[in-house]
A = this chain, B = another copy of it.
């Protein structure tokens, strides 16, 4: 069973306060302002548990370690601006991808990232 601990609350609060994807080390630093003795291993364990529970979601940018954010949105994709490097949510989805796979392959999920210029960088 899942318990409600001070540590877990501090970690969730850190993500809520940030409003942007945070690195595990950033979550750790932020949550330590609430609980000084908080261990980094506990942050990782909670990230894993919260992710499994669907409360938070990993945001993986090529080259960097995974960041985490609250799972506020439903299925969506990402648009990364080549100029400002910011990542935006794209709520459209091309739909079924089965026809793209080689014969004999079964598709049951997909991930799409668009690259280009955002409206502010045109």
Contacts and interface: CB of A to CB of B under 8 A. Distances in A.
B90 A102 contact: yes
Contacts of A60: 60, 62-63
Interface string A90-102: 1011100101111
Say which size band chain A's interface belongs to: 35 or more
Report copies per complex: 2
A42 interface: no
Given A63-B60, A105-B117, A105-B119, A100 B93 contact: yes
A92 B99 contact: yes
Interface of A: 58, 60, 62-63, 66, 77, 79, 82, 88, 90, 92-94, 97, 99-119, 122
